[in-house]
Structure 1
Amino acid sequence: MGIDATTPGDGDVTLVFSLGAARSLADPAAAFDDARRWSRHVGIVANEADRVAAFVRDHGVDNDYELTNWDKWGTLADVREESTAPRYVFVGTTRADERVATETGYEYLPVTEAAEKAGWELSEPGATGADGDERGGADRGGGRLARLRRAVRDAVSRLR
């Protein structure tokens, strides 16, 4: 894990989005570009680094955080340890996101509130993606059942 120091902003915030929060944005690339004007570092974390990599690639988003197969907890702790920003904000979508933010020393901001404050548009509900913890519904917490459903869905989609 590391922070890409080649593109840091000069703001006083290290801003981290959950993958679900990033998927909730109507135009993630524009929102990230805007956030870079007032943030020192901007990026996305999730329990599945390959899903973040795919999102970054598909949406043209620059992620300041080098992800490995580390979960949100470990990644957020590493980012906080490596960043020199005085403020750390985690933008998420679930109570689990709020809990991980609080436990790792971040301010938590729901994506709806972050979008409202920053003037970012949100996508339509239900259009945010395939991860259980990344969209509404019974598996919002991203637990074992959500991971199992994702694994089965991914395996079926590869067969098509």
Structure 2
Amino acid sequence: MGIDATDPGDGDVTLVFSLGAARSLTDPAAAFADARRWSRHVGIVANEADEVAAFVRDHGVENDYALASWDKWGTLADVREESAAPRYVFVGTTRADERVATETGYEFLPVDEAAEKAGWERSEPGATGTDGDGPGGSGRDAGRLARLRRAVRDAVSRFR
């Protein structure tokens, strides 16, 4: 995990979206470009790094956070540790997102409120599919499940 600091913005905010929040935006690339004008770093986190990579690729979004095999709890903690911004804001969609924000030292901002304040358009509710945390649910439990799946898959592959 690491922040791409090659061209950080000059704002006072490190802004992180949950994948569900990013998916709810009508034009994620435009919203991220706008956020870069007033944010030091902008990116997306989720429990499934592959889903974030696919979203970034499919929507032309630049993600400042290099995700590895880490859930959003760990990623948010790492981003907070690596960024020198005075404010850390996590834009999410669920109570689980609010909990992870609070417990990792971020301000939580619901995506509907963030979109309204910034003038970003949102897709119709339900049009985005999942809440963005990958298969198996949302929040901390989905991250644990994903880690458990990887551990079992790795253990089985060693015995083949």
TM range (shorter): 0.7 to 0.9
Note the residue ranges of structure 1 that are not aligned, 5 or more in a row: 152-160
CA contact (8 A) 1:19 1:134 kept: yes
Residue type matched to 1:13 in 2?
A: V
Instruction: State the alpha-carbon separation in 2 of the partners of residues 31 and 50 from structure 1.
Output: 21
Query: What is the TM-score of this pair, normalised by structure 2?
Result: 0.83
Structure 1 SS opposite 2:117:
helix
Runs of 4+ in structure 1 over 4 Å off: 139-144
Q: Could you say which residue in structure 1 is the equivalent of 2:66?
A: 66
Q: Describe the superposition over 1:9-36 as per-residue Cα deviations: whole angstroms up to 9, x where unpaired.
A: 0000000000000000000000000000
Instruction: State the alpha-carbon separation in 1 of the partners of residues 140 and 121 from structure 2.
Output: 24
Structure 1 SS opposite 2:109:
strand
Q: Could you say which residue in structure 2 is the equivalent of 1:89?
A: 89
Instruction: State the alpha-carbon separation in 2 of the partners of residues 71 and 7 from structure 1.
Output: 25
CA 1:81–1:140 in 2, change beyond 3 Å: closer, same or farther? closer
**Equivalent residue runs for 1:7-156 within 5 Å:** 7-129=7-129, 131=130, 133-134=131-132, 143=141
Instruction: State the alpha-carbon separation in 2 of the partners of residues 134 and 71 from structure 1.
Output: 12
Q: Describe the superposition over 1:74-105 as per-residue Cα deviations: whole angstroms up to 9, x where unpaired.
A: 00000000000000000000000000000000
Structure 1 SS opposite 2:14:
strand
CA 1:141–1:74 in 2, change beyond 3 Å: closer, same or farther? closer
Instruction: State the alpha-carbon separation in 2 of the partners of residues 142 and 105 from structure 1.
Output: 16
How many matched pairs?
A: 142
Q: Could you say which residue in structure 2 is the equivalent of 1:158?
A: none
Q: CA RMSD in A?
A: 1.9
Instruction: State the alpha-carbon separation in 1 of the partners of residues 113 and 25 from structure 2.
Output: 12
Query: Once the 2 structures are TM-superposed, how far is the Cα of residue 127 of structure 1 from its aligned partner?
Result: 1.0
CA contact (8 A) 1:15 1:43 kept: yes
- Greater CA drift, 88-97 or 119-128: 119-128
CA contact (8 A) 1:14 1:85 kept: yes
Structure 2 SS opposite 1:125:
coil
Structure 2 SS opposite 1:134:
coil
